Amino acid sequence: MSVLLEVKDLTKNFGGLAAVSNVNMHLDDNELIALIGPNGAGKTTLFNLMTGQTVPSAGSITLRTDSGVQVLNGRKPYKIADMGLARTFQNIRLFKELSVLDNVLISMTSKNKEGLVSSLFRLPAFYKTEARLVKEAMDLLKIFHMQDLADTTANNMPYGAQRRLEIVRALATKPKILFLDEPAAGMNPEETAALTATIRQIQQDFGITVLLIEHDMSLVMNVAERIYVLQYGKLLAEGTPQEIQANQAVIDAYLGGGV
């Protein structure tokens, strides 16, 4: 396995606060990695740095692509998404007033650009591509058992379904790496169990790398091959679930030490 995404000495300062400082990480091909840490540890900031929503103060992020290793920092989020990094959001950010199908189709836009002439005059090619994309989107929805919801307005779906749609929408961009920001937040144990199975299935079927932020330790220990622990913006530990569970520093961080 070789390194797909590499983070070197990544730092982000908000005024005097170092939200992320000198973080080094690497994500390899087809890996399922979890990022954990207490509230305010800087996990989401780290996500935002990697996907381009936030610009790093120092350090570098590089991605291995077909045309060599490319630097990601300083690029616009849509360019980074185009290069194969897709994400979900901690607070759901669906295209609320649009249908489930449209939510998925929008994610396919960047890989299926169209000219102005085609969109204005509806040449036969327009219908052909449109039919192909709808089929692809429906196939993707089927995997998540959401094909019957295709015409539903995203906002009218139950919470769990909205979370699932966020994942489907991210997968529709055909990513190399999928970033999941607390996908199990607000879910009950059954929903979490189903999600755990889904995440595993995604990683295997799509052959992609998954980086997961999660507070639910049963989920994390169940699916993650490798875990990074973040505290006060610094990397506290790295290792397999067994190593992390036995790590004294991690136990102290979570339980307050001296227990």
Partner 1 sequence: MKRNLKYNLVWLLIAVVGWILINVLEGVGIIDQFAETTLVLIGINIILASGLNLIIGFSGQFSLGHAGFMALGAYAAALVTQAMPTELGLALGIIIGMILAGVVALIIGIPTLRLKGDYLAIATMGAAEIIRIILINLKITNGPAGLYGLPQLASWSTVYVLVVVTTVLTVNFIHSRNGRAVMSVREDEIAAESMGINTTKFKVAAFVFGGMTAAIGGALHATYIQTIAPNDFGIMESISILIIVVMGGIGSMTGTFAAAILLGVLDMVLQSFGALRMVLYSLALILIMVFRPKGLFGTWEFSVKRLFNRKKRAKEEV
| List of residues contacting partner 1 (CB under 8 A) | 51, 53, 76-78, 81-82, 86-87, 89, 93-98, 102, 105-114, 116, 118-122, 124, 126-127, 129-130, 133, 169-170, 172-173
> Among 203, 213, 223, which residue's Cα sits nearest to residue 89?
213
Least CB distance from residue 181 to partner 1, whole Å?
A: 11
Least CB distance from residue 185 to partner 1, whole Å?
A: 17
Q: How far is CA 227 from the centre of its chain?
A: 15
Rounded CA separation 73/61 (Å): 6
SS3 of 156-207? HCCHHHHHHHHHHHHHCCCCCEEEEECCCCCCCHHHHHHHHHHHHHHHHHHC
Least CB distance from residue 147 to partner 1, whole Å?
A: 18
Least CB distance from residue 76 to partner 1, whole Å?
A: 7
Q: Which one, 178 or 229, has the nearer CB to partner 1?
A: 178
Q: Which one, 12 or 87, has the nearer CB to partner 1?
A: 87
Angle at 33 (CA atoms; ends 27, 5), nearest 5 degrees? 15
Long-range contacts of 249-254 (CB under 8 A, 24+ apart): 253/37, 253/38, 253/229, 254/38
Least CB distance from residue 84 to partner 1, whole Å?
A: 10
> Which residues, listed in sequence order, are joined to residue 87 by a DSSP beta bridge?
179
